[in-house]
Amino acid sequence: MKFMLIMRATEAAKAAYEEIDFAEVINAMGAYNESMIKAGVLLAGEGLADDLSTAFVVDFAGETPIVTDGPYGEIHELFNGFWIIEVSSKEEAVQWASRAPLGAGSKLEVRRVTDMSDFAGHEDNEYIQKEEGWRAEQAER
Amino acid sequence: MSADVRRTVDAVWRIEGARIVGNLARLTGDLGLAEDLAQDAVADALAQWPESGVPQNAAAWLTAVAKRKAIDGWRRRERLDERHSAIAHDLASREGGVPGADDVWEPIDDDVLRLVFTACHPVLAREAQVALTLRLVGGLTTDEIARLFLLPVATVQQRIVRAKKTLSAARVPFEVPDPGEWAARLGPVLGVVYLVFTEGYAATSGERWMRLDLATEALRLGRVLAGLLPREPEVHALLALMEFQASRFAARTAPDGRPILLADQDRSRWDHAQIRRGEAALERADALATARKTGRGPYALQAAIARCHATAQSVESTDWAQVVLLYEALGRLAPNPVVELNRAVAVSQATGPASALLIVDGIAASGALRGSHLLPSVRGELLARLGRREQARAEFAAAVALTSNAREREVLQAKSDAL
């Protein structure tokens, strides 16, 4: 079973983070990542930049998609990174997620990554089939 | 509640079992005893955690409880020697010896490495090595191993008990091998992992064509090994090989469970992220081998072959000449009729079925692979391509009679019927 650990932080948590020595943050994250690599469970993981000039939101509420700058809008929690792990149970995912070196104001939202079993009855759909390969490719980028 | 605790305990064991047992085995010098102590600690956890809640540092809790049990056992038998008092001292240095949230859990990778080499020690039969490795290194429960291998739980339990007895009777030390033995001892370790993978990748018996959960376990073990032995080229090569082969899982089975052969697979369904992980692992293996001034080992050659397939857009555009060369190199390294047969298949693609048939007839004449469905199925394929339909049908019929996998039988029958 694959799970995505989605990291979210409030503005307050981000401000608090900036007080901590960056080297310390890197060390803690590095140790956490290494523990998952050594356990053979980490498949992918990335941090997301806070840099406002490259962030934007596409809103599909209207007839044509509207692109606005900045990821914030009314959202007060910001996605700032993710891990994808492959483990044997939800409980194992809970164990790993609980070990993330995050502080107050940060949250991990953990979701199971869908697999072919979620498309039962539609496996022969050409687009479902194609998407498998395509989605995997995108995930790697 | 108690079912939740059971699942949590299993999850903790899954993550920390190897390090808990490794730590205890180093302290006691006895792997069997270490595993028993850890199991007793797990039983305590199952009894106590529903009341007390799951401790903050569950692994430290389990280890401390197991150590206390070790001391108690020796006290009872008045065998508190130096080694045991060291553990006692270690326990006493904690607050009253009570395991809790403050415990520092500092497992040592070397303990896990010792565990790997001990579980795969050559005094053990291969099936014992497999059971012990999945149990101790992989952190699987006996029930899970039994389910994966379609075996009765009692059989797996018996294999593990016997394996521990064998290790103890042979006085196998809980150590990594000496440098002189290193290469010879690494072989069985890689062999165990790849056996688990291949049993999942091409189930040799039963209704199912693939047993993904087994292959996933093997991949996980492979990644663990790569973390433990980052300088060993063949460890990364084995991981690469498994990543490449596993990348085809989604494309290997039709919705109704029928197997889809390589030539007919929709390559857009291959897991390209996994292929890239395989490429990275193979590059690592090649770089390490180059630095050591050794050539590619058998896993690296197989991984390189798998990469030729994984990165080709179609069967036709596959670099078959390269595949032939790689099989030749593999055959020189470890002569083997299955490798020779695969070389024949590659030759049939690179230069045509007639030259391939000569190789296959050579294998048949040597008497190798007698009783395997592989030889007649490849021979049938080549004869069919040469237009010798009657002979091809006879070969497919022979192959059908020899395979024990129901799904594979269907594929062969379909090929014969299509002639």
Give yes or no for a contact between A28 and A44, defined as CB atoms under 8 angstroms apart.
no
Residue B249 lies in a domain: no
Least Cα distance to B376 among B399, B357, B358, B394 occurs for B399
Edge-first strand order for the sheet with A77-86 is A42-47, A77-86, A2-10, A106-112
Confidence of residue B92 (pLDDT cuts 50, 70, 90): low
User: Of B70, B92, B114, which residue constitutes the final position of a domain?
Assistant: B92
Residue A121 lies in a domain: yes
In a domain, A116, yes or no: yes
Any idea what the CATH number is for the domain that residue A17 is in? 3.30.70.1060
Q: How confident is the model at residue B102 (pLDDT cuts 50, 70, 90)?
A: very low
B74 confidence band (pLDDT: 50, 70, 90)? confident
Q: Which residues contact A90 (CB under 8 A, 6 or more apart)?
A: A1, A3, A112, B7
* Residues of chain A neighbouring B223 (CB-CB closer than 8 A): 37, 40-41
Contacts of B273 (CB under 8 A, 6+ apart): A43, A44, A136, A137, A139, A140
- Position B219 scores a pLDDT of 95
**End-of-domain residue from the set B66, B92, B118:** B92
Total domain count for chain B? 2
Measured at the alpha carbon of residue A36, what is the angle toward residues A32 and A40, in degrees to the nearest 5?
A: 165
Count A/B contacts: CB-CB distance under 8 Å. 77
A66 occurs within a structural domain: no
In a domain, B358, yes or no: yes
Would you state the pLDDT for residue B80?
54
Q: How do residues B332-359 score in pLDDT, each as one tens digit?
A: 998 889 899 999 999 999 999 999 999 9
What does the pLDDT look like over B238-277, one tens digit per residue?
Answer: 999 999 999 988 787 777 767 777 888 888 888 888 999 9
* Residue B380: inside a domain: yes
pLDDT at B206: 52
- The nearest alpha carbon in chain A to B222 belongs to A40
Residues in B touching A116 (Cβ below 8 Å): 250
Boundary (domain end) residue, out of B57, B92, B127: B92
* pLDDT on residue A76: 62
Among residues B187, B42, B148, B317, the alpha carbon closest in space to that of A88 is found at B148
Dihedrals phi, psi of B103, to nearest 5 degrees: -60, 135
Q: Is residue B365 part of a domain?
A: yes
Model pLDDT, residue B407: 79
Over residues B265-293, mean pLDDT: 92
* Longest alpha-carbon distance in chain A: 53
Task: Quote the domain boundaries for residue A35.
Answer: 2-49+77-140
- B321 in a structural domain: no
Per DSSP, B405 falls in state B
Residues 15-34 of B with CB under 8 A from A: 15
Query: Which among A39, A116, A132 has CB closest to B15?
Result: A39
Of A100-104, A117-121, B41-45, B325-329, least confident by mean pLDDT is: A117-121
Task: Write the DSSP assignment of chain A as a string of letters.
Answer: -EEEEEEEEEHHHHHHHHHS-HHHHHHHHHHHHHHHHHTT-EEEEEE----GGG-EEEE-SSSS-EEEESS-TT--EEEEEEEEEE-S-HHHHHHHHHTS---TTEEEEEEEPP-GGGGTT-TT-HHHHHHHHHHHHHHH-
Give the confidence band of B370 by pLDDT, cuts at 50, 70, 90.
confident
Query: Average pLDDT for consecutive 10-residue bins of chain A (141 residues)?
Result: 92 77 88 93 90 84 86 67 94 94 89 80 61 46 39
As a whole number, the mean pLDDT across chain B is 87
Q: Taking residues B106-131, report their average pLDDT.
A: 89
| Per-residue pLDDT, B34 | 92
Residue A131: per-residue pLDDT: 53
- Give yes or no for residue B237 having a pLDDT over 80: yes
| CA terminus-to-terminus distance, chain A | 21
A45 lies in some domain: yes
Flag whether B399 is in a domain.
Answer: yes
Provide the mean pLDDT of chain A: 81
Using a CB–CB cut-off of 8 Å, the residues of A that contact B are 37-41, 43-44, 86-92, 94-96, 116, 123-124, 129-130, 132-134, 136-137, 139-140
| Averaged pLDDT for residues B40-67 | 92
Q: How far apart are CA B13 and CA B18, in angstroms?
A: 8
Q: First CA to last CA across chain B, in angstroms?
A: 60
pLDDT for the residue numbered A135: 46
Examine the pLDDT at B212 and tell me if it is beyond 80.
no
- In this structure, of B71-85, B122-136, B183-197, B384-398, the range with the lowest mean pLDDT score is B71-85
In this prediction the ipTM stands at 0.73
Calculate how close chain A gets to B386, using CA atoms only, in Å: 33
Select from A32, A38, A126 the residue whose CB has the most chain B CBs within 10 Å, as the one to mutate to test that interface.
Answer: A38
By Cβ distance, the residue of B7, B266, B274 closest to A89 is B7
Q: Based on the structure, what is the number of domains in chain A? A: 1
DSSP labels, B264-296 = GS-GGGS-HHHHHHHHHHHHHHHHHHHHHT---
Does A34 reside within a domain? yes
Find the CB nearest A91 among B7, B221, B223: B7
B378 domain-assigned: yes
Total number of residues shown for chain A: 141
Domain that holds residue B366: 347-419
Percent of chain B with pLDDT over 90: 59
pLDDT digits (tens, 9 = 90+) for B304-317: 999 999 999 888 89
pLDDT band at B82 (very low <50, low <70, confident <90, very high): low
Cα–Cα distance for residue pair B254/B270, rounded to 1 Å: 14
Q: Determine, yes or no, domain membership for A67.
A: no
Mean pLDDT (whole number) for B11-40 = 91
Split at pLDDT 50, 70, 90, the class of B95 is: very low
Give chain B positions within 8 Å (CB) of A43: 273, 277
For B5, the token pair is 């605790």
State the Cα–Cα distance between residues A94 and A105, nearest whole angstrom: 19
Contact B271 A95 (CB under 8 A): no
| Residue B179 maps to a domain | no
Partners of A136 on chain B (C-beta within 8 Å) are: 271-274
Amino acid identity, position B113: L
Q: CB of B222 within 8 Å of any CB in chain A?
A: yes
